[in-house]
Amino acid sequence: MTDTDIPWWKTAVLYQIYPRSFADSNGDGMGDIAGIIDHLDHLDWLGVDGIWLSPVTVSPNADWGYDVADFCAVQPDLGTLAEFDRLVAEAERRGIRILMDLVPNHTSVEHPWFVDSRSSKTAEKRDWYVWADPGPDGTPPNNWVSSFGGPAWTLDPATGQYYLHNHLSEQPDLNWWSDDVREAFDDVFGFWFDRGVAGFRIDVCNVIIKDAELRDNPPSTEDDDFDVQLFGQQPVYNGNRPEVHDVLRRWRKLTDATDPPRLLIGETPVKVAALAAYYGDGTDELHLAFNFPFITAPFEAEAMRRIVEDTEEHFPAGAWPAWTGSNHDMSRFSSRWAEGDGAKIRTALVMLLGLRGTPVLYQGDEIGLGDRAMAHEDMRDPLGVAYFPAYAGRDAMRTPMPWRSGPGGGFTEAGARPWLPLGDDDGATVEEQRNDPDSVLAFTRRLIALRRETPDLQTGSYRSLPSPAGVWAWRRGDSVTVVLNLTGDDTELEGVEGRVVLDSRNRRQGTAIRGPLTLGPWESVIVVG
Protein backbone atom coordinates (compact mmCIF):
# COMPACT_ATOMS: atom_id res chain seq x y z
CA MET A 1 0.00 0.00 0.00
CA THR A 2 1.37 3.39 -0.93
CA ASP A 3 0.69 6.48 1.18
CA THR A 4 -1.87 7.70 -1.29
CA ASP A 5 -3.89 4.49 -0.83
CA ILE A 6 -4.40 5.23 2.85
CA PRO A 7 -7.91 6.63 3.30
CA TRP A 8 -8.02 10.12 4.77
CA TRP A 9 -9.84 9.09 7.94
CA LYS A 10 -7.09 6.70 9.05
CA THR A 11 -4.61 9.52 9.42
CA ALA A 12 -7.20 12.08 10.51
CA VAL A 13 -7.93 13.72 13.82
CA LEU A 14 -11.71 14.08 14.12
CA TYR A 15 -13.53 16.59 16.28
CA GLN A 16 -17.10 16.39 17.51
CA ILE A 17 -19.15 19.57 17.60
CA TYR A 18 -22.30 19.77 19.67
CA PRO A 19 -23.74 22.64 17.61
CA ARG A 20 -26.07 24.12 20.19
CA SER A 21 -23.12 24.68 22.53
CA PHE A 22 -20.32 25.62 20.14
CA ALA A 23 -20.85 29.25 19.13
CA ASP A 24 -23.89 31.49 18.90
CA SER A 25 -23.77 33.91 15.98
CA ASN A 26 -27.13 35.66 16.48
CA GLY A 27 -27.37 36.30 20.22
CA ASP A 28 -30.25 33.93 20.97
CA GLY A 29 -28.15 32.00 23.48
CA MET A 30 -27.93 28.90 21.27
CA GLY A 31 -25.04 27.84 19.12
CA ASP A 32 -25.73 27.64 15.41
CA ILE A 33 -24.22 26.72 12.06
CA ALA A 34 -23.05 30.26 11.34
CA GLY A 35 -21.23 30.18 14.69
CA ILE A 36 -19.40 27.05 13.60
CA ILE A 37 -18.33 28.77 10.38
CA ASP A 38 -17.03 31.70 12.45
CA HIS A 39 -14.76 29.34 14.38
CA LEU A 40 -13.46 27.13 11.60
CA ASP A 41 -10.16 28.97 11.78
CA HIS A 42 -9.73 27.69 15.33
CA LEU A 43 -10.14 24.10 14.15
CA ASP A 44 -7.87 24.68 11.17
CA TRP A 45 -5.21 26.17 13.45
CA LEU A 46 -5.63 23.22 15.82
CA GLY A 47 -5.06 20.75 12.99
CA VAL A 48 -8.42 19.02 12.84
CA ASP A 49 -9.18 17.04 9.65
CA GLY A 50 -12.87 16.29 10.06
CA ILE A 51 -15.84 17.44 12.11
CA TRP A 52 -18.67 15.23 13.31
CA LEU A 53 -21.70 17.43 13.84
CA SER A 54 -24.26 16.24 16.37
CA PRO A 55 -27.67 16.52 14.66
CA VAL A 56 -28.52 19.75 12.89
CA THR A 57 -31.66 18.27 11.32
CA VAL A 58 -35.22 19.27 12.23
CA SER A 59 -36.27 18.20 15.70
CA PRO A 60 -38.79 19.18 18.38
CA ASN A 61 -35.89 18.63 20.78
CA ALA A 62 -37.41 16.09 23.15
CA ASP A 63 -33.84 14.69 23.03
CA TRP A 64 -32.06 17.75 21.60
CA GLY A 65 -31.84 16.78 17.96
CA TYR A 66 -31.76 13.01 18.48
CA ASP A 67 -35.51 12.92 17.81
CA VAL A 68 -35.59 13.80 14.14
CA ALA A 69 -38.72 15.15 12.45
CA ASP A 70 -37.12 15.66 9.03
CA PHE A 71 -33.87 13.95 8.02
CA CYS A 72 -33.33 16.21 5.01
CA ALA A 73 -33.77 19.72 6.39
CA VAL A 74 -31.92 21.94 8.85
CA GLN A 75 -33.35 22.82 12.26
CA PRO A 76 -34.41 26.49 11.92
CA ASP A 77 -32.87 27.67 15.19
CA LEU A 78 -29.51 26.23 14.09
CA GLY A 79 -29.57 27.73 10.60
CA THR A 80 -30.57 27.01 7.04
CA LEU A 81 -29.60 24.55 4.36
CA ALA A 82 -27.79 27.39 2.60
CA GLU A 83 -25.71 27.99 5.73
CA PHE A 84 -25.02 24.29 5.96
CA ASP A 85 -23.78 24.32 2.37
CA ARG A 86 -21.59 27.27 3.24
CA LEU A 87 -20.22 25.35 6.24
CA VAL A 88 -19.25 22.43 4.00
CA ALA A 89 -17.60 24.78 1.51
CA GLU A 90 -15.79 26.87 4.13
CA ALA A 91 -14.57 23.75 5.89
CA GLU A 92 -13.39 22.25 2.63
CA ARG A 93 -11.44 25.41 1.87
CA ARG A 94 -9.48 24.69 5.05
CA GLY A 95 -9.07 20.99 4.26
CA ILE A 96 -11.69 19.97 6.86
CA ARG A 97 -14.45 17.48 6.10
CA ILE A 98 -17.94 17.51 7.57
CA LEU A 99 -19.64 14.37 8.92
CA MET A 100 -23.32 14.37 9.83
CA ASP A 101 -25.05 12.50 12.61
CA LEU A 102 -27.60 9.98 11.35
CA VAL A 103 -30.28 8.69 13.73
CA PRO A 104 -31.76 5.66 11.98
CA ASN A 105 -33.06 3.76 15.02
CA HIS A 106 -35.96 6.07 15.66
CA THR A 107 -37.63 9.31 14.64
CA SER A 108 -39.51 11.99 16.50
CA VAL A 109 -43.20 11.35 17.16
CA GLU A 110 -43.64 14.45 14.99
CA HIS A 111 -41.98 12.93 11.93
CA PRO A 112 -44.58 12.70 9.14
CA TRP A 113 -43.72 8.99 8.82
CA PHE A 114 -44.85 8.38 12.38
CA VAL A 115 -47.84 10.70 12.09
CA ASP A 116 -48.99 8.54 9.18
CA SER A 117 -48.02 5.29 10.89
CA ARG A 118 -50.06 5.94 14.02
CA SER A 119 -53.09 7.22 12.10
CA SER A 120 -54.59 3.76 11.59
CA LYS A 121 -53.72 0.08 11.57
CA THR A 122 -53.94 0.12 7.80
CA ALA A 123 -51.92 3.30 7.28
CA GLU A 124 -49.40 3.21 4.44
CA LYS A 125 -46.48 3.52 6.86
CA ARG A 126 -47.94 1.41 9.67
CA ASP A 127 -45.14 -1.14 9.36
CA TRP A 128 -42.39 1.51 9.22
CA TYR A 129 -42.49 1.37 13.04
CA VAL A 130 -42.71 -1.50 15.52
CA TRP A 131 -46.34 -1.95 16.56
CA ALA A 132 -47.69 -4.84 18.60
CA ASP A 133 -50.90 -5.87 20.35
CA PRO A 134 -51.16 -5.65 24.13
CA GLY A 135 -50.72 -8.76 26.20
CA PRO A 136 -53.97 -10.52 27.27
CA ASP A 137 -54.27 -8.28 30.35
CA GLY A 138 -53.57 -5.09 28.41
CA THR A 139 -49.91 -4.94 29.40
CA PRO A 140 -47.02 -4.21 26.99
CA PRO A 141 -46.28 -6.86 24.35
CA ASN A 142 -43.08 -7.99 26.10
CA ASN A 143 -40.72 -7.13 28.95
CA TRP A 144 -38.29 -4.82 27.13
CA VAL A 145 -37.16 -1.74 28.99
CA SER A 146 -36.04 1.51 27.41
CA SER A 147 -32.39 2.44 27.76
CA PHE A 148 -33.73 5.72 29.16
CA GLY A 149 -35.69 3.86 31.86
CA GLY A 150 -39.23 2.49 32.07
CA PRO A 151 -41.05 0.21 29.63
CA ALA A 152 -39.94 0.35 25.98
CA TRP A 153 -43.58 0.35 24.86
CA THR A 154 -46.24 3.05 24.85
CA LEU A 155 -49.91 2.33 24.18
CA ASP A 156 -51.43 4.41 21.39
CA PRO A 157 -55.12 4.58 22.33
CA ALA A 158 -56.29 5.49 18.82
CA THR A 159 -55.44 2.07 17.40
CA GLY A 160 -55.15 0.06 20.62
CA GLN A 161 -51.61 -1.12 19.87
CA TYR A 162 -48.30 -0.38 21.56
CA TYR A 163 -45.33 1.18 19.73
CA LEU A 164 -41.73 0.43 20.61
CA HIS A 165 -39.20 3.00 21.77
CA ASN A 166 -35.76 2.04 23.02
CA HIS A 167 -35.34 5.63 24.26
CA LEU A 168 -37.98 8.29 25.08
CA SER A 169 -41.63 7.69 24.24
CA GLU A 170 -41.18 10.69 21.88
CA GLN A 171 -38.66 8.56 19.92
CA PRO A 172 -40.58 5.66 18.28
CA ASP A 173 -38.29 2.97 16.86
CA LEU A 174 -38.34 2.39 13.14
CA ASN A 175 -38.91 -1.12 11.82
CA TRP A 176 -35.68 -2.01 10.05
CA TRP A 177 -37.17 -5.23 8.72
CA SER A 178 -39.07 -3.00 6.29
CA ASP A 179 -37.53 -2.57 2.85
CA ASP A 180 -39.30 0.77 2.55
CA VAL A 181 -37.46 2.04 5.64
CA ARG A 182 -34.16 0.85 4.21
CA GLU A 183 -34.83 2.60 0.92
CA ALA A 184 -35.92 5.80 2.65
CA PHE A 185 -32.56 5.94 4.42
CA ASP A 186 -30.65 5.25 1.23
CA ASP A 187 -32.26 8.47 0.02
CA VAL A 188 -31.21 10.32 3.19
CA PHE A 189 -27.61 9.25 2.60
CA GLY A 190 -27.84 10.43 -1.00
CA PHE A 191 -29.33 13.78 -0.03
CA TRP A 192 -26.39 14.66 2.22
CA PHE A 193 -23.73 13.09 0.02
CA ASP A 194 -24.93 15.35 -2.79
CA ARG A 195 -24.28 18.29 -0.45
CA GLY A 196 -20.69 17.19 0.01
CA VAL A 197 -20.74 15.58 3.46
CA ALA A 198 -17.89 13.14 4.01
CA GLY A 199 -19.88 10.56 5.93
CA PHE A 200 -21.98 9.85 8.98
CA ARG A 201 -21.72 9.04 12.63
CA ILE A 202 -24.54 6.57 13.13
CA ASP A 203 -26.52 6.81 16.34
CA VAL A 204 -26.97 3.57 18.36
CA CYS A 205 -26.38 1.58 15.21
CA ASN A 206 -26.13 -1.68 17.16
CA VAL A 207 -29.81 -1.72 18.15
CA ILE A 208 -31.65 -0.81 14.98
CA ILE A 209 -32.91 -4.35 14.29
CA LYS A 210 -35.05 -6.07 16.91
CA ASP A 211 -36.01 -9.69 17.29
CA ALA A 212 -38.67 -10.45 14.67
CA GLU A 213 -40.66 -12.45 17.25
CA LEU A 214 -40.31 -9.75 19.95
CA ARG A 215 -39.19 -12.35 22.50
CA ASP A 216 -38.77 -11.36 26.17
CA ASN A 217 -35.27 -10.42 27.27
CA PRO A 218 -33.74 -12.85 29.81
CA PRO A 219 -33.27 -11.57 33.36
CA SER A 220 -29.86 -10.15 34.29
CA THR A 221 -27.59 -12.14 36.58
CA GLU A 222 -25.07 -11.09 39.17
CA ASP A 223 -22.31 -11.72 36.61
CA ASP A 224 -23.65 -8.94 34.38
CA ASP A 225 -22.26 -5.42 34.23
CA PHE A 226 -23.73 -2.90 36.62
CA ASP A 227 -25.89 -1.17 33.99
CA VAL A 228 -27.36 -4.48 32.79
CA GLN A 229 -28.21 -5.37 36.39
CA LEU A 230 -29.78 -1.94 36.81
CA PHE A 231 -32.18 -2.66 33.94
CA GLY A 232 -32.89 -6.12 35.37
CA GLN A 233 -32.56 -7.77 31.97
CA GLN A 234 -29.99 -8.62 29.33
CA PRO A 235 -30.60 -6.69 26.08
CA VAL A 236 -30.56 -9.83 23.97
CA TYR A 237 -33.62 -9.28 21.80
CA ASN A 238 -34.14 -5.51 21.60
CA GLY A 239 -30.76 -4.86 20.00
CA ASN A 240 -27.44 -6.37 18.93
CA ARG A 241 -29.25 -8.80 16.62
CA PRO A 242 -27.20 -10.59 13.96
CA GLU A 243 -29.37 -9.13 11.19
CA VAL A 244 -28.06 -5.62 11.94
CA HIS A 245 -25.00 -6.61 9.93
CA ASP A 246 -27.09 -6.91 6.77
CA VAL A 247 -28.01 -3.27 7.13
CA LEU A 248 -24.42 -2.24 7.82
CA ARG A 249 -23.24 -4.13 4.74
CA ARG A 250 -25.92 -2.38 2.69
CA TRP A 251 -24.69 1.00 3.92
CA ARG A 252 -21.06 0.14 3.33
CA LYS A 253 -21.81 -0.83 -0.26
CA LEU A 254 -23.65 2.42 -0.70
CA THR A 255 -20.81 4.51 0.73
CA ASP A 256 -18.11 2.60 -1.15
CA ALA A 257 -19.95 3.30 -4.39
CA THR A 258 -19.83 7.07 -3.91
CA ASP A 259 -17.07 9.21 -5.29
CA PRO A 260 -15.18 9.86 -3.09
CA PRO A 261 -16.09 6.95 -0.78
CA ARG A 262 -17.80 8.16 2.37
CA LEU A 263 -17.05 7.29 6.00
CA LEU A 264 -19.30 5.44 8.48
CA ILE A 265 -18.60 5.74 12.19
CA GLY A 266 -20.87 3.75 14.44
CA GLU A 267 -22.02 4.50 17.95
CA THR A 268 -21.57 0.96 19.22
CA PRO A 269 -21.91 0.69 23.01
CA VAL A 270 -20.91 -2.98 23.27
CA LYS A 271 -18.05 -5.01 24.71
CA VAL A 272 -14.79 -5.27 22.78
CA ALA A 273 -15.40 -8.81 21.53
CA ALA A 274 -18.81 -7.79 20.15
CA LEU A 275 -17.42 -4.53 18.76
CA ALA A 276 -15.20 -6.36 16.28
CA ALA A 277 -18.28 -7.78 14.54
CA TYR A 278 -19.40 -4.27 13.56
CA TYR A 279 -16.40 -4.08 11.25
CA GLY A 280 -17.63 -7.21 9.44
CA ASP A 281 -14.69 -8.83 7.70
CA GLY A 282 -12.73 -5.60 8.18
CA THR A 283 -13.77 -4.13 4.86
CA ASP A 284 -17.51 -4.56 4.49
CA GLU A 285 -19.29 -2.91 7.45
CA LEU A 286 -18.40 0.15 9.56
CA HIS A 287 -15.13 1.95 8.89
CA LEU A 288 -14.89 3.04 12.53
CA ALA A 289 -16.77 2.01 15.64
CA PHE A 290 -16.62 3.84 18.96
CA ASN A 291 -15.00 1.79 21.70
CA PHE A 292 -17.13 2.29 24.81
CA PRO A 293 -15.22 -0.10 27.11
CA PHE A 294 -12.22 2.20 26.52
CA ILE A 295 -14.20 5.37 27.20
CA THR A 296 -15.58 3.99 30.46
CA ALA A 297 -12.37 2.32 31.68
CA PRO A 298 -10.54 3.75 34.69
CA PHE A 299 -7.44 5.75 33.77
CA GLU A 300 -5.10 3.00 34.90
CA ALA A 301 -2.31 1.39 32.91
CA GLU A 302 -3.40 -2.21 33.30
CA ALA A 303 -7.09 -1.62 32.58
CA MET A 304 -6.46 0.58 29.55
CA ARG A 305 -3.74 -1.63 28.13
CA ARG A 306 -5.96 -4.69 28.40
CA ILE A 307 -8.76 -3.03 26.44
CA VAL A 308 -6.39 -1.84 23.73
CA GLU A 309 -4.72 -5.27 23.48
CA ASP A 310 -8.13 -6.98 23.34
CA THR A 311 -9.21 -4.55 20.65
CA GLU A 312 -6.09 -5.21 18.62
CA GLU A 313 -6.54 -8.96 19.07
CA HIS A 314 -10.25 -9.18 18.24
CA PHE A 315 -10.35 -6.82 15.30
CA PRO A 316 -10.28 -8.41 11.86
CA ALA A 317 -7.41 -7.49 9.55
CA GLY A 318 -8.14 -4.13 7.95
CA ALA A 319 -10.29 -2.89 10.86
CA TRP A 320 -9.24 0.46 12.25
CA PRO A 321 -9.98 1.50 15.85
CA ALA A 322 -11.41 4.85 16.97
CA TRP A 323 -10.35 6.34 20.30
CA THR A 324 -12.28 8.90 22.20
CA GLY A 325 -12.48 10.09 25.79
CA SER A 326 -15.51 12.38 25.82
CA ASN A 327 -18.73 12.99 23.96
CA HIS A 328 -22.10 14.64 24.52
CA ASP A 329 -23.38 11.64 26.50
CA MET A 330 -20.39 10.68 28.65
CA SER A 331 -18.65 12.66 31.33
CA ARG A 332 -15.69 14.59 29.84
CA PHE A 333 -12.34 12.81 30.16
CA SER A 334 -10.79 15.87 31.71
CA SER A 335 -13.07 15.26 34.71
CA ARG A 336 -13.56 11.49 34.56
CA TRP A 337 -9.99 10.36 33.84
CA ALA A 338 -8.01 13.40 34.87
CA GLU A 339 -9.96 15.00 37.73
CA GLY A 340 -9.14 18.38 36.23
CA ASP A 341 -5.40 17.83 36.75
CA GLY A 342 -3.33 19.37 33.93
CA ALA A 343 -0.65 16.66 33.99
CA LYS A 344 -3.26 13.90 33.70
CA ILE A 345 -5.16 15.77 30.98
CA ARG A 346 -1.98 16.03 28.86
CA THR A 347 -1.19 12.37 29.37
CA ALA A 348 -4.74 11.37 28.40
CA LEU A 349 -4.29 13.37 25.19
CA VAL A 350 -1.01 11.59 24.47
CA MET A 351 -2.85 8.30 24.91
CA LEU A 352 -5.73 9.28 22.59
CA LEU A 353 -3.40 10.57 19.89
CA GLY A 354 -0.67 7.99 20.38
CA LEU A 355 -2.67 4.80 19.85
CA ARG A 356 -3.20 3.06 16.53
CA GLY A 357 -6.54 4.37 15.32
CA THR A 358 -8.44 7.54 14.67
CA PRO A 359 -8.71 9.91 17.63
CA VAL A 360 -12.02 11.71 18.01
CA LEU A 361 -11.86 14.77 20.25
CA TYR A 362 -14.99 16.36 21.67
CA GLN A 363 -15.28 20.15 21.60
CA GLY A 364 -13.46 21.54 24.61
CA ASP A 365 -11.14 18.52 25.00
CA GLU A 366 -8.43 20.64 23.40
CA ILE A 367 -8.48 23.07 26.33
CA GLY A 368 -9.02 20.37 28.95
CA LEU A 369 -12.59 21.49 29.56
CA GLY A 370 -14.27 19.55 32.35
CA ASP A 371 -17.87 18.81 33.28
CA ARG A 372 -19.67 21.78 34.78
CA ALA A 373 -21.76 21.55 37.93
CA MET A 374 -25.41 21.92 37.00
CA ALA A 375 -28.38 22.93 39.13
CA HIS A 376 -31.57 20.96 38.55
CA GLU A 377 -33.44 24.07 37.38
CA ASP A 378 -30.80 24.71 34.68
CA MET A 379 -30.97 21.20 33.24
CA ARG A 380 -32.25 20.70 29.68
CA ASP A 381 -31.49 17.02 29.13
CA PRO A 382 -34.73 15.07 29.66
CA LEU A 383 -32.78 12.42 31.58
CA GLY A 384 -31.38 14.89 34.11
CA VAL A 385 -34.73 16.62 34.43
CA ALA A 386 -36.46 13.30 35.12
CA TYR A 387 -33.93 11.44 37.22
CA PHE A 388 -32.09 14.09 39.25
CA PRO A 389 -30.60 13.59 41.83
CA ALA A 390 -30.20 9.82 41.20
CA TYR A 391 -28.77 10.69 37.77
CA ALA A 392 -27.81 14.21 36.79
CA GLY A 393 -28.15 13.65 33.05
CA ARG A 394 -25.85 14.91 30.32
CA ASP A 395 -25.96 18.68 30.57
CA ALA A 396 -22.70 18.92 32.52
CA MET A 397 -20.81 17.79 29.40
CA ARG A 398 -22.85 19.89 26.98
CA THR A 399 -22.16 23.36 28.37
CA PRO A 400 -21.11 26.09 25.91
CA MET A 401 -17.54 26.46 24.69
CA PRO A 402 -15.69 29.09 26.72
CA TRP A 403 -14.04 31.05 23.93
CA ARG A 404 -12.91 33.92 26.12
CA SER A 405 -13.47 35.45 29.56
CA GLY A 406 -16.26 37.88 30.33
CA PRO A 407 -20.04 37.93 29.98
CA GLY A 408 -21.23 35.50 27.29
CA GLY A 409 -17.81 33.84 27.30
CA GLY A 410 -17.39 34.58 23.59
CA PHE A 411 -20.07 31.90 23.10
CA THR A 412 -22.99 34.31 23.00
CA GLU A 413 -23.49 38.05 23.29
CA ALA A 414 -22.98 39.68 26.67
CA GLY A 415 -26.43 39.92 28.22
CA ALA A 416 -27.88 36.98 26.30
CA ARG A 417 -28.83 33.95 28.34
CA PRO A 418 -26.95 30.86 27.12
CA TRP A 419 -29.24 27.83 26.73
CA LEU A 420 -27.06 26.03 29.29
CA PRO A 421 -24.97 27.88 31.84
CA LEU A 422 -21.33 28.47 30.92
CA GLY A 423 -20.19 27.58 34.44
CA ASP A 424 -17.55 29.41 36.43
CA ASP A 425 -15.31 31.71 34.45
CA ASP A 426 -12.09 30.07 35.57
CA GLY A 427 -9.94 31.56 32.84
CA ALA A 428 -9.64 28.23 31.03
CA THR A 429 -10.71 29.72 27.73
CA VAL A 430 -9.58 29.23 24.17
CA GLU A 431 -8.32 32.82 23.96
CA GLU A 432 -6.29 32.64 27.13
CA GLN A 433 -4.77 29.28 26.22
CA ARG A 434 -3.89 30.38 22.71
CA ASN A 435 -1.60 32.97 24.21
CA ASP A 436 0.11 30.55 26.55
CA PRO A 437 2.71 28.15 25.08
CA ASP A 438 2.40 25.94 28.17
CA SER A 439 -1.38 25.57 27.94
CA VAL A 440 -3.31 22.38 27.25
CA LEU A 441 -4.43 23.94 23.98
CA ALA A 442 -0.86 24.59 22.84
CA PHE A 443 0.01 21.04 23.87
CA THR A 444 -2.91 19.51 21.96
CA ARG A 445 -1.92 21.45 18.88
CA ARG A 446 1.72 20.30 19.12
CA LEU A 447 0.56 16.71 19.55
CA ILE A 448 -1.69 16.87 16.50
CA ALA A 449 1.11 18.44 14.43
CA LEU A 450 3.56 15.76 15.59
CA ARG A 451 1.13 13.06 14.58
CA ARG A 452 0.75 14.61 11.19
CA GLU A 453 4.51 14.69 10.55
CA THR A 454 5.22 11.22 11.98
CA PRO A 455 3.87 8.47 9.69
CA ASP A 456 4.38 5.71 12.30
CA LEU A 457 2.25 7.68 14.78
CA GLN A 458 -0.50 7.82 12.19
CA THR A 459 -0.47 4.35 10.73
CA GLY A 460 2.22 2.27 12.45
CA SER A 461 1.22 -1.00 14.12
CA TYR A 462 0.66 -1.22 17.90
CA ARG A 463 2.74 -3.42 20.22
CA SER A 464 2.74 -3.27 24.03
CA LEU A 465 6.17 -3.03 25.64
CA PRO A 466 7.07 -4.49 29.03
CA SER A 467 6.81 -1.82 31.69
CA PRO A 468 6.60 -1.50 35.48
CA ALA A 469 3.20 -1.46 37.22
CA GLY A 470 1.25 1.72 36.50
CA VAL A 471 3.28 2.47 33.38
CA TRP A 472 1.96 1.78 29.89
CA ALA A 473 4.43 1.77 27.03
CA TRP A 474 3.92 0.80 23.44
CA ARG A 475 5.63 0.81 20.12
CA ARG A 476 4.11 2.26 16.96
CA GLY A 477 5.58 0.83 13.78
CA ASP A 478 9.37 0.69 13.64
CA SER A 479 10.21 4.10 14.95
CA VAL A 480 7.92 5.44 17.68
CA THR A 481 7.65 4.63 21.39
CA VAL A 482 4.91 6.10 23.57
CA VAL A 483 5.26 5.91 27.34
CA LEU A 484 2.64 6.97 29.88
CA ASN A 485 3.21 7.07 33.60
CA LEU A 486 -0.28 6.62 34.99
CA THR A 487 0.81 6.97 38.59
CA GLY A 488 1.60 9.81 40.94
CA ASP A 489 5.15 8.52 41.54
CA ASP A 490 8.45 8.96 39.74
CA THR A 491 9.30 5.96 37.64
CA GLU A 492 11.88 4.59 35.21
CA LEU A 493 11.73 2.47 32.12
CA GLU A 494 14.68 0.58 30.68
CA GLY A 495 15.31 -0.09 27.04
CA VAL A 496 13.82 3.00 25.40
CA GLU A 497 16.19 4.56 22.91
CA GLY A 498 15.92 7.59 20.72
CA ARG A 499 15.02 11.23 20.82
CA VAL A 500 12.19 12.70 22.84
CA VAL A 501 9.89 14.43 20.37
CA LEU A 502 7.18 15.29 22.86
CA ASP A 503 7.12 15.49 26.63
CA SER A 504 3.89 16.23 28.49
CA ARG A 505 5.92 18.37 30.89
CA ASN A 506 7.39 20.27 28.00
CA ARG A 507 10.91 19.96 29.43
CA ARG A 508 13.18 17.88 27.21
CA GLN A 509 11.90 17.94 23.65
CA GLY A 510 14.64 17.11 21.20
CA THR A 511 16.97 15.50 23.74
CA ALA A 512 18.35 11.99 23.37
CA ILE A 513 17.65 9.42 26.06
CA ARG A 514 20.77 8.22 27.88
CA GLY A 515 20.24 5.30 30.23
CA PRO A 516 16.79 4.53 31.62
CA LEU A 517 13.91 6.83 30.69
CA THR A 518 12.80 8.69 33.79
CA LEU A 519 9.24 9.91 34.14
CA GLY A 520 7.71 12.17 36.77
CA PRO A 521 4.18 11.72 38.15
CA TRP A 522 1.60 11.41 35.31
CA GLU A 523 4.25 12.34 32.76
CA SER A 524 4.17 10.97 29.24
CA VAL A 525 6.62 11.09 26.37
CA ILE A 526 6.83 10.20 22.73
CA VAL A 527 10.22 8.98 21.57
CA VAL A 528 11.43 8.47 18.03
CA GLY A 529 14.29 6.13 17.32
Helices (H), 267-425: 272-275, 292-296, 301-314, 333-336, 342-354, 382-387
Q: Which lies closer to ligand GLC via its Cβ, residue 267 or residue 366? A: 267
Query: Site for ligand GLC (CB under 6 A): how many residues?
Result: 9
Residue 497 known to be catalytic:
no
CB of 431 to ligand GLC, least distance (A): 29
CB of 25 to ligand GLC, least distance (A): 24
198 in Cβ contact with 99 (< 8 Å): yes
Q: Does 207 help bind ligand GLC (rule: CB under 6 A)?
A: no
CB of 63 to ligand GLC, least distance (A): 5
Binding ligand GLC (rule: CB under 6 A), the pick from 24, 49, 63, 90 is: 63
Residue 436 known to be catalytic:
no
Q: Which lies closer to ligand GLC via its Cβ, residue 63 or residue 310? A: 63
CB of 486 to ligand GLC, least distance (A): 28
Binding ligand GLC (rule: CB under 6 A), the pick from 32, 49, 170, 203 is: 203
Q: From 65, 22, 53, select the one nearest 364 (Cα to Cα).
A: 22
326 in Cβ contact with 371 (< 8 Å): no
129 in Cβ contact with 163 (< 8 Å): yes
CB of 246 to ligand GLC, least distance (A): 21
Using Cβ positions, the residue closest to ligand GLC within the complex turns out to be: 66
The distance between the two most distant Cα atoms of the chain, rounded to a whole number of Å, is: 78
Q: Does 395 help bind ligand GLC (rule: CB under 6 A)?
A: no
Q: Which string of x and - marks every residue 424-463 that binds ligand GLC (by CB under 6 A)?
A: ----------------------------------------
Instruction: Count helices and strands (H / E) in the chain.
Output: 16, 20
Active-site residue identified among 63, 90, 267, 523 = 267
Q: Does 500 help bind ligand GLC (rule: CB under 6 A)?
A: no
Binding ligand GLC (rule: CB under 6 A), the pick from 37, 62, 78, 204 is: 204
The type of residue at 510 is G
Q: Which lies closer to ligand GLC via its Cβ, residue 171 or residue 433? A: 171
137 in Cβ contact with 128 (< 8 Å): no
CA distance 195 to 75: 16
The type of residue at 326 is S
Beta-carbon contacts of 397 under 8 Å, excluding residues fewer than 6 positions away, are 326, 327, 328, 329, 330, 331, 332, 362, 371
Q: Which lies closer to ligand GLC via its Cβ, residue 267 or residue 312? A: 267
Q: Which lies closer to ligand GLC via its Cβ, residue 202 or residue 493? A: 202
Q: Does 164 help bind ligand GLC (rule: CB under 6 A)?
A: no
Interaction residues for ligand GLC, span 78-117 (CB under 6 A): 103
Q: Does 66 help bind ligand GLC (rule: CB under 6 A)?
A: yes
Q: Which lies closer to ligand GLC via its Cβ, residue 227 or residue 313? A: 227
Binding ligand GLC (rule: CB under 6 A), the pick from 329, 341, 378, 413 is: 329
Total residues belonging to the chain: 529
44 in Cβ contact with 15 (< 8 Å): no
Percentage helix, strand, coil for the chain under 3-state DSSP, each rounded to 5: 30, 20, 50
Interaction residues for ligand GLC, span 249-288 (CB under 6 A): 267
387 in Cβ contact with 316 (< 8 Å): no
Q: Which lies closer to ligand GLC via its Cβ, residue 107 or residue 454? A: 107
DSSP string computed for 179-240: HHHHHHHHHHHHHHHHTT--EEEETTTTSSS--TT-PPPPBP-TTS-HHHHHHTB--SSSS-
Enzyme catalytic residues: 203, 267
Query: Interface with ligand GLC by CB under 6 A: which residues?
Result: 63, 66, 103, 167, 203-204, 267, 328-329
